[in-house]
Structure 1
Amino acid sequence: MTDPTTRVHDLDETELLARIFPLLPTGPAVVVGPGDDAAVVRAPDGRFVVTTDVLVQDRHFRRDWSTGYDVGRRAAVQNLADVAAMGAHATSLVVSLVVPGDLEVDWVTGLARGLAEASAPAAVVGGDLSGGDAVVVSVTVHGDLAGRDPVLRSGARPGDVVAHAGTLGTSAAGLDLLTCGAAEPRDGAPDGGGPLHPYVSAYLRPRSPLAAGPAAAAAGATAMLDVSDGLLRDAGRLARAGGVTLDIARSDLGPDVVALLPAAVQVSVTTGDDGDPDRALRWVLAGGEDHGLLATFPAHVAATGLPAPFRPIGVVTTADDAPTVLLDGEQPDVAPGWDHFRP
């Protein structure tokens, strides 16, 4: 049993790594795993997909809201979704971790468990460990295309159907519920225990439809990306990359908006802001970190059935010099989503 009062500064680096390594998953692509100077991973396709992201304490997560388990899951999922958006399966992860000395060792091992649960059957094959003033988690994921061409952001063409897999607005709803005090992060359960509110869970522990990425590639998706910064902002990236306009149908987003209305009412009652009827719609259009997949498919693919769980939410229209995103043919009156360098 681990003493929950044990801190990182009570162990040396070797002892801390000895607590972490047994928790990490391995996989069939691994030739040499953690413990050597570098890992060796098979790349049977002859190519590999690679992506990396970083989570910084008090910028991307708060330790009073998030357990180590939460942060581990989140750090893995946001990278795994990027690999899936290329149409690939993840094979291995490399994790770099900065931790302050007074951090509980249980928090660190919880992070390892969260990484392991979210990333399996991909393997965590190594990384780096350092001390610092705040927790920083950097994850790099490698993926296998299995002989297929990667699905790029730039492939959308007029006449394609715009489709989405996953949830929209749930993470943003969870963040607002936490921020205003309408919900608590958890019920006192230990690492791995469940938060009280499902939207808080969506924020702290996002789940991405990872298998839908390779399925979309196999079905002939022309463009795809992970929705991490909000539907409008990320749809705009597809539009600009392909030189096209994406027209999103408000009616196709209706079920998402309706599902979020009770949470929007909770926030309004808690904050006293009863004059914000569009809060739920704004979560759906501009909320990020649900890590669903946004893709475009040729019309004939959509006519015969999109791969599950994709559903149509719009169409690709003209190719022109001013690519943009429209909502029912008009410019949406909603801020487009998250930008790291804007208030």
Structure 2
Amino acid sequence: MADEPCFDVAHLGHVELLTNRPEESLDFFVEVYGLTESGRDGQSVYLRGWDDYEFHTLKLTQSDTTGMAHVGYRTTSQAALERRVAAIEAMGCGIGWTEGDLGHGRAYRFRSPDGHIFELYYDTRKYEAPDIERPALKNMAQRYHGRGAAVRRIDHFNLLATDVSEMRDFMIGALGSRVTEQIRLDNGRLGGCWFTVNNKSYDMAVTEDHSGARSRFHHITYAVDQRDDVLRAADIFLENGVFIETGPHKHAIQGTFFLYVYEPAGNRVEVANAGARLILQPDWEPITWTETERRKGQAWGLKTIASFHTHGTPPVE
């Protein structure tokens, strides 16, 4: 009999990205990508999509390197947080409690098998729009400003790891995530795995890092409403001198309409129309793709660009 589904974790909350070009990165995320600044603290700027309900979904922190400092998920209740902490401590991957930051209260941090830092929290700060950002409709968190690509909300992120199978077991055990799709390589290893903690088709992906490095970051994605918004973003990136890595096109896995660029510090960023698929089936069985199937490329035949398998942050010497 299958294990009872775990819904202790509500959703992906935020990602903290490191940048060694802080002013240029901030200009990109606000003026070109279309996020809104909601606060500053020390070397960090807190940013959000116009329909994110929390204070922030991206924490951009000045550093001498790049990549992901940590990722945060919000639990469904305080009791759910305590249950997850007990499970994580039993797994032996706990780090300990922090007092939080401008965006949320007390949080529990833990480490993935590859060294990525995760945190879980429940006590959060909901965004209160100032007059200049106040929406016309009271059921929206913030007005639609139309600035840059004007991305709507955080959608998912992708990590690189030396052992995808270990990361799969970690996500299931620590967060109660479900696997929705995966890649099985000819050598038997898992080449990639897509996870969800709710009814979205995925909120996190893990793919194999061929560099031999550990705990690297692949990309962060914010969602827009329509494919036309992705095409509009491509023109905005073009006009602003942003490097477009690949797309617009449609993924075979998950069916996401995608566009990948590099922000000025080199972190990969995606704009995607990613909300079409929902996993409502409680006994969903993971879709497994073979190496041969993946060699066919994306949904409409675009071959996966070589840098998609090599570029990550921080870069490898």
TM-score (norm 2): 0.30
Higher strand proportion: 2
- Rg larger for: 1
Q: Which has the higher contact order (CA 8 A, sep 6+)?
A: 1
TM-score (norm 1): 0.28
